Amino acid sequence: MNARFAILAALLPVTWQAPYQFSLNDIPRYKPEQRVRGTIRLWGHGSPTHDFMGKLVRAWEQGFSKYQPDVMFEYRMYGTASSIGALYTGVGNLAIRGEEIHDFEISAFERVLHYSPLEIDIATGSLDVRNMDFAQVFFVHWDNPISKLTLAQLDGIFGYEHRRGLGDIRFWGQLGLTGEWAAKQINIYGWDVNDDFADYLGQTVLKGSHQWKCNLIGFKHIRLPNGSIYDSGKQILDALANDRYGIAVSNLRYANPQVKSLALAFDSRSPYYEATKANLIEQKYPLIRIVPAYVNCPPRGQVEAPVREFLRYILSQEGQAAIIRESGYLPLNPRAIQEQLRKLH
């Protein structure tokens, strides 16, 4: 697709999609491959005061114990930051994270054990639930004609290095807008550059760069006098509501009537998708978040038997049903589950 057609495509409405069909019945029920015994030492997402995954993990433990009563659990899910270290120091044998792994964590693991940790995806990030890996969504003012953008266009708008190759984009006319819009500068709003969300977007949107444009207005949480938190995501979209020529990244939970979300595509040759539960589960939306688990498994080795069976349970119909019932996360689709199960053999 040439540049002219790419610009026109950004102004066209999103293609209609058929109603989403998803059923847990398409995911096999758990069937033990062997009877196991031992202790699973869990580390990961949570804290002593905010037990983000406790309800879900306890539901998994209770369901699993009906099949594997000789497996015990030690619960140490008091921080994603400690999860990978627990694996390579041997104090934990299963890490369940609240975000994607960082390069420095992989490097630390490899420095100690000389191979990488094994990643097993276990759930899909939420659409709009706080602290549950909600989807990153880009917004414009409600009367902006644009309805969709590619990751390269976002890189051109927000990034400094432009690793996706499209170049610098500073004015709405560069995205095909005409009339009064054409000469208006694009004002950009987002997370504070030190926020984990900004780190994720640096990896995905900026293609590994973490150099944002200097005119990015970033926001942090604010604690109000009454003790409540004015979320950075809400601050971002409140600011966009008052800026007709702005663009922002936030989440649907913070949307207001003065803003609208954009459909995204990986590139100009790919279909555009909005952030919906269906598109997240089917892994079509470009900025999907995945909840990963990690284990210490040497190359050509096998995952420790109790951990392997527990992960197989999480990836079963019963385990994915617990995700829907006991958390704000979303399940994996059957195709993704089969890909993860292959890693365990």
pLDDT of residue 13: 44
Q: How far is the C-alpha of 345 from the C-alpha of 339, rounded, in Å?
A: 11
pLDDT tens sequence across 28-55:
999 999 999 999 999 988 776 777 788 9
Specify the domain boundaries for CATH 3.40.190.10 within the chain. 3-20+136-274, 31-126+290-343
pLDDT tens sequence across 153-195:
999 999 999 999 999 999 999 999 999 999 999 999 999 999 9
Residue 119, beta-bridge partner list = 294
pLDDT of residue 53: 85
Q: How far is the C-alpha of 304 from the C-alpha of 293, rounded, in Å?
A: 14
pLDDT tens sequence across 208-250:
999 999 999 999 999 999 999 999 999 999 999 999 999 999 9
Handedness of CA 220, 225, 229, 235 (dihedral sign): negative
Compute the mean pLDDT over every residue in the chain, rounded to the nearest whole number. 92
- Which tokens in the block code for residue 29? 């029920």
Q: Using alpha carbons, select from 287, 282, 307 the residue that is nearest to residue 118.
A: 307
Q: Which residues 6+ apart lie within 8 Å of 35 measured at CB?
A: 68, 70
Q: How far is the C-alpha of 219 from the C-alpha of 234, rounded, in Å?
A: 9
Beta-strand runs (E) in 97-182: 118-124, 137-141, 148-150
Q: Using alpha carbons, select from 67, 53, 48 the residue that is nearest to residue 132.
A: 53
- Which tokens in the block code for residue 203? 């990896």
Local structure of 128: helix, strand or coil: coil
Q: How far is the C-alpha of 281 from the C-alpha of 209, rounded, in Å?
A: 27
Q: Which residues 6+ apart lie within 8 Å of 164 measured at CB?
A: 151, 152, 155, 156, 206, 207
pLDDT of residue 12: 43
pLDDT of residue 136: 97
For 3-20+136-274, the fitting CATH number among 3.50.50.60, 2.40.50.100, 3.30.930.10, 3.40.190.10 is 3.40.190.10
Element (H, E) at 265: strand 263-265
The yes or no reply on domain 31-126+290-343 and CATH 3.40.1410.10 is no
Q: Using alpha carbons, select from 119, 66, 118 the residue that is nearest to residue 319.
A: 66
- Within 10 angstroms of residue 70's Cβ, the number of other Cβ atoms is 10
Asked whether the beta carbons of 171 and 215 are under 8 A apart, the reply is: no
Q: The whole model's pTM is what?
A: 0.89
Q: What percent of the chain has pLDDT over 70?
A: 93
325: left (phi over 0), alpha (psi -120 to 50) or beta: alpha
